[in-house]
Amino acid sequence: MYSSLTRATRPPVALAAAAQLPRQWLPRAFLATSTRMSAPSTAPETNCNIDQATLGAFWMPFTANKAFKRSPRILAKAKGMHYWTEDGHKVLDGTAGLWCVNAGHCNERIVSAIQKQAAALDFAPTFNMGHPLAFEYAHRLCQELMPGKGLDQVFFTMCGSTAVDTALKVALAYHKARGEGSRFRLIGRERAYHGVGFGGISVGGMLPNRRAFGPMLPGVDHLRTTYDREHQAFSKGQPEWGAHLAEDLERLVGLHDASTIAAVIVEPVSGSAGVLVPPYGYLKRLREICDAHGILLIFDEVITAFGRLGKGMGAEYFGVIPDMVTCAKGLTNAAVPAGATFVQKHVYDTFMGATPGDGIELFHGYTYSGHPLAMAAGLATLDVYQDEGLFERAAALAPYWEETLHALKGHPHVVDIRNLGLMGAVELVPRAGKPGQRAFQVFTTALHKGVMVRVTGETIALSPPLIVEKGQIDQIVTTLSQALHEVA
């Protein structure tokens, strides 16, 4: 798979390492040897052929609508690792869309599967009915993604937000079915992102996502964030410092009493908050505390599942098995919207045993649960992951990704760099009184140079498709380097 990457074409960080340059020289050496990876020519300020009247109708999500519509950034097509704008400008995708196109854009096997399914069965309800692909995909996911770990049931949803709300509802109903209806509290974590449903924003810990929407769900509390720049800045992979932060759950148990707590939900790696990587031992200790107090543990793996960390799930990577896992994004390679909530057998069996006769065990679901097109896309996506060895490929590329990304240490405005698997973040110092402005300018500057990155607050977040080549990793980081030098 990597045979074409000869010594002559090794990227700049590999060359610097081979020369055993001092660490503090690495960024300069990186720039000096990266001329072959110079970024594409600058794109025009706007590439939009859509008239203003048409632009006005779409209320865009998580977007400064007025600013965007003054200077739109419009993508027209995609293939593999690239997007193209309406005027033909080629843009390298450094973010897998929104953390989701893990197998690359417009994969022919996935496209063909969707097209064939649309012609054969466009929709079928899964309320008291079914269709073959939903059962087949659920079975394969449980058998192949993380076999032998008890995550033997899957509930299909529409997206990550609905997968999270499903998990929270299952947690509450599970304890009630066990005769412990007093367990109504849900514990999230500061700086967490769990989608935009009321359940997700309640357990989430990102202020802008919460402040306009009232008091949230009752009975919710939050663990401290795992991130502390003073102790963790420029960690490669998991920080050594911070496992003790899991003990904050014991504080909440002492405050509320374990008999009132239904579940704890965390992202194994917090993506939208800026790739906040858990300290060594943190997740293991959370699992132990949950077990000691009868609390369910939910992993939100909407980003980390399907190869982002080189494994089927982040749970496998960290060696910590939760009671439920939520996922979406890579579930269908984002070709058709879908989400899923994996559930441990003991949770599912509790519902089956608590319901008398042939009654409905869970009054919950969505019109599009197990949608035929999503299931066709998912099955084809799973085949692509396996046949092309994309999870293993991500694991093999991770060390190179880490070294290349950390070459940006010492660049203007950079105060931290974080990474795990094929996730990365470059955090910047904000401009006084203008939070987020500098990072957003780096985003637009990189885009004009032909690389799409993601901006979240003061952080540039990166998550390329798992098909990324080493030379494309070089291009992403070289372009970021140029943008950081250009942005004041």
Compute the distance between CA of residue 177 and CA of residue 361 in angstroms, rounded to an integer.
Answer: 10
* Domain CATH number, residue 337: 3.40.640.10
Looking at the fold, whether 354 and 460 belong to one and the same domain comes out as: no
Contact predicate 427/415, CB 8 Å: yes
Looking at the fold, whether 92 and 144 belong to one and the same domain comes out as: no
Residue 1 has pLDDT above 90, yes or no: no
| Assigned domain for 35 exists | no
Looking at the fold, whether 72 and 123 belong to one and the same domain comes out as: no
Compute the distance between CA of residue 331 and CA of residue 40 in angstroms, rounded to an integer.
Answer: 32
Boundary residue ending a domain (330, 357, 388): 388
| Assigned domain for 36 exists | no
Residue 349 has pLDDT above 80, yes or no: yes
- What is the bridge-based pairing of β-strands 185-189 and 153-157? unpaired
Looking at the fold, whether 126 and 234 belong to one and the same domain comes out as: yes
Residue 21 has pLDDT above 70, yes or no: no
Contact predicate 267/223, CB 8 Å: no
| Assigned domain for 44 exists | no
Mean pLDDT of 236-260: 98
Q: Which of 262, 256, 78, 238 is nearest to 169 (CA)?
A: 262
Compute the distance between CA of residue 421 and CA of residue 366 in angstroms, rounded to an integer.
Answer: 33
Read off the amino acid at residue 392.
Answer: E
Looking at the fold, whether 262 and 398 belong to one and the same domain comes out as: no
Compute the distance between CA of residue 97 and CA of residue 171 in angstroms, rounded to an integer.
Answer: 31
Looking at the fold, whether 101 and 199 belong to one and the same domain comes out as: no
Looking at the fold, whether 300 and 279 belong to one and the same domain comes out as: yes
pLDDT tens for 295-305 read: 999 999 999 99
Residues 6+ apart with CB under 8 A from 108: none
Residue 288 has pLDDT above 80, yes or no: yes
* Phi, psi (rounded to 5 degrees) for 216: 70, -175
Boundary residue ending a domain (323, 353, 388): 388
Looking at the fold, whether 81 and 142 belong to one and the same domain comes out as: no
Read off the amino acid at residue 117.
Answer: Q
Residue 358 CA to its chain's centroid (Å):
38
- Residue 478, SS3? helix
| Assigned domain for 464 exists | yes
Mean pLDDT of 26-46: 36
What is the per-residue pLDDT for 404?
98
| Assigned domain for 34 exists | no
- The string of DSSP codes covering 139-172 is HHHHHHTSTTSS--EEEEESSHHHHHHHHHHHHH
pLDDT tens for 116-174 read: 999 999 999 999 999 999 999 999 999 999 899 999 999 999 999 999 999 999 999 99
Looking at the fold, whether 87 and 206 belong to one and the same domain comes out as: no
* Phi, psi (rounded to 5 degrees) for 428: -115, 155
- Residue 444, SS3? helix
Q: Which of 61, 63, 59, 103 is nearest to 335 (CA)?
A: 103
Mean pLDDT of 384-392: 98
Contact predicate 15/36, CB 8 Å: no
Residue 17 has pLDDT above 70, yes or no: no
Domain count, the chain: 2
Contact predicate 468/397, CB 8 Å: yes
Residue 128 structural domain: 109-388
* Domain CATH number, residue 73: 3.90.1150.10
Q: Which of 396, 308, 409 is nearest to 95 (CA)?
A: 308
Residues 6+ apart with CB under 8 A from 444: 73
Compute the distance between CA of residue 307 and CA of residue 392 in angstroms, rounded to an integer.
Answer: 8
What is the per-residue pLDDT for 26?
35
Contact predicate 308/277, CB 8 Å: no
- The string of DSSP codes covering 76-95 is EEEEBTEEEETT--EEEESS
Looking at the fold, whether 163 and 276 belong to one and the same domain comes out as: yes
| Assigned domain for 25 exists | no
Cite the DSSP H helix spans in 4-44: 12-18, 26-32
> CA dihedral in degrees (299, 301, 307, 311; nearest 10)?
0
Looking at the fold, whether 210 and 258 belong to one and the same domain comes out as: yes
Boundary residue ending a domain (369, 388, 407): 388
Looking at the fold, whether 262 and 397 belong to one and the same domain comes out as: no
